[in-house]
Amino acid sequence: MEQVSTNADMKTLADCINKVQADGYTENFKMSEQGLLSLQNERLYHPEDITVKNFYRFEGISDPADNSILYAIETNDGVKGLLTDAYGPYADPEVTRFMEEVEEIHKKKVNP
């Protein structure tokens, strides 16, 4: 069973990545022109092939360029991994377009 973290565990992007990786999200994904690419197994996924199990937004203290989002993704063949992107005006348009087509995006409540 996946643990739900407290806000104290998830204050920085690095802390959040470490926690989510400990929960089994060990694959690294990146966007390509063809779709979401697994860097470890070089498999390509389309929006209908994935579920976003959770996502986390981080805001820079003084610079909007520091805003980021972390997606915890599970694929239809059981691969669990992470995709990071800028958030807001600096977001990658390919990631935004891809995520708009994903049908299952969940947000789990983080305990205070």
Residue 80 has pLDDT above 90, yes or no: yes
pLDDT of residue 101: 94
- pLDDT tens per residue, range 53-65: 999 998 876 566 6
Q: What is the mean pLDDT of the chain?
A: 86
Separation between Cα atoms, residue 81 and residue 71, nearest integer Å: 8
Dihedral (Cα; 75, 76, 77, 78), 10-degree rounding = 50
pLDDT, tens digit, 9 for 90 and up, residues 2-57: 444 444 556 789 999 999 999 999 999 999 999 999 999 999 999 999 999 999 99
Other beta carbons less than 10 A from residue 70's beta carbon: 20
